[in-house]
Chain A
């Protein structure tokens, strides 16, 4: 009798049911030994009364005269370490592309070589008046039913009214975070907040409310446009000043909306990049729900899609 046979039928298909430990008697001491080494290193770190490092002091000194920014962390993100931010942004973009690739649903079996589309075109050409057979009608109904099952339906009227009231305020606050903050503010938190607003609309008002916007064909070009703006800023810095992400725009008065020159544009592009990236990732994960491989012992499980795994 296997361990699977001892489980109740309901538990047998739970993905977590048998995942236990992997040699904890070996991993435990190894991690403990590493922990001691880490602890020795940590105790040698500077304490709270240490002098500020030279690089940090330098960033404080050049924040306003060179970058026109009163918020030193923003100056470092979009100015002194702009190239590092560029790398991290494109790491996020790379992750989004990987998630999109991994979460892509299996091609319908009928369309491996486009034969269903060809057949439909030929049918329209040769005999457009032939009615749908009952089998075809049933298959189409099942297909649309399965799709609607995976879509979020809207919540109660109380929630919908509350969300409709809150969403404009939250959307404005999100953009304000990037545009005005401490001039410029943070594109990263603003992007996360924008993605949160879109998710809130989806959860409360259902898939129908966001389906025109939340599509790869819409969101992905917007994300790439944000990435293109960031690349253009970097290249402009190289061309004009010989240094990537050097400021090429006029510096306005600190604490005004145009303060920081490049940084305001960089921050805005970052907001677009992060918001669209998170939206793509979250909705890709949500869309993976029905792509299970079939099991030999599935008792007529219609919710699974036949075919091989990904």
Chain B
């Protein structure tokens, strides 16, 4: 029933997207972006899952199995786990930049309401 994870990831993504498009509070917009990032982690890890699989580790094969059995047997997808690591690091970088921007906007306009940030308005 890994499809439940997929659906959960989709729902979390949509909740995050709704926060981004429908909230004016910049902190909540950044939280929405973080939710969207988190949904990708859930999706990637869920896609890497295989029923009855072991972790992609060749150091301690399960009892009765050799290293080659693990290599050719059922394991979780290591490439997608790597994608998840990449996504986490990029998520941290993006969140850090956005939070810094929000602090600067708050200090300049004395508000975190996107409607108050009018300097670029034509």
A residues engaging B (CB < 8 A)? 13, 15-16, 18-24, 27-28, 30-32, 34-35, 38-39, 42-43, 45-50, 52-53, 55-57, 59-61, 63-64, 70-73, 75-77, 81, 84-85, 88-89, 91-92, 94-96, 98-99, 102-103, 182, 186, 188, 254-255, 274, 278, 281, 284-285, 288, 291-293, 295, 309-310
Contact = CB atoms under 8 A, between A and B. Distances in A.
A73 B78 contact: yes
B34 interface: no
A56 B55 CA distance: 13
30 contacts: A13-B110, A16-B27, A16-B113, A18-B113, A19-B115, A21-B24, A22-B21, A28-B22, A35-B14, A42-B3, A42-B6, A42-B10, A43-B3, A48-B49, A52-B50, A53-B79, A56-B77, A59-B79, A60-B71, A60-B78, A72-B56, A72-B57, A92-B90, A92-B92, A182-B57, A186-B85, A285-B96, A288-B104, A291-B107, A293-B107
A19 B111 contact: yes
- Give the 10 A-B residue pairs with the shortest CB-CB distance, closest first: A95-B93, A19-B25, A309-B108, A27-B22, A19-B113, A72-B56, A27-B21, A35-B14, A70-B58, A70-B59
Contacts of B89: 88-89, 91-92, 188, 274
A15 B106 contact: yes
A76 B57 contact: no
User: Chain B binding site: helix, strand, loop or mixed by DSSP?
Assistant: helix
Contact of A99 (B18, B26, B96, B108): B96
A34 B17 contact: yes
A38 B67 contact: no
B107 A310 contact: yes
Interface of B: 2-3, 6-7, 9-11, 13-14, 17-18, 21-28, 43, 47, 49-51, 56-59, 67, 70-72, 74-75, 77-82, 85-86, 88-90, 92-94, 96-97, 99-101, 103-104, 106-116
A42 B110 contact: no
A144 to B, nearest CB: 22
Nearest to B22: A27
B21 A49 contact: no
Which of A42, A46, A295 counts the most B-chain CB atoms under 10 A from its CB? A42
A52 B21 CA distance: 37
A24 B86 CA distance: 32
A102 B50 contact: no
B112 A16 contact: yes
Contacts of A92: 89-90, 92-93
Given A31-B17, A38-B13, A56 B78 contact: yes
A18 B109 CA distance: 13
A154 to B, nearest CB: 25
Contacts of A45: 6, 47
Contacts of A94: 93
A285 B100 contact: yes
A57 B92 CA distance: 30
Contacts of A95: 93-94, 96-97
Contacts of A64: 58, 67
Contacts of B26: 19
Given A72-B56, A84-B86, A95-B94, A52 B14 contact: no
B10 A60 contact: no
A28 B18 contact: yes
Contacts of A292: 107, 110
A118 to B, nearest CB: 30
Nearest to B47: A45
A22 B77 contact: no
A70 B100 contact: no
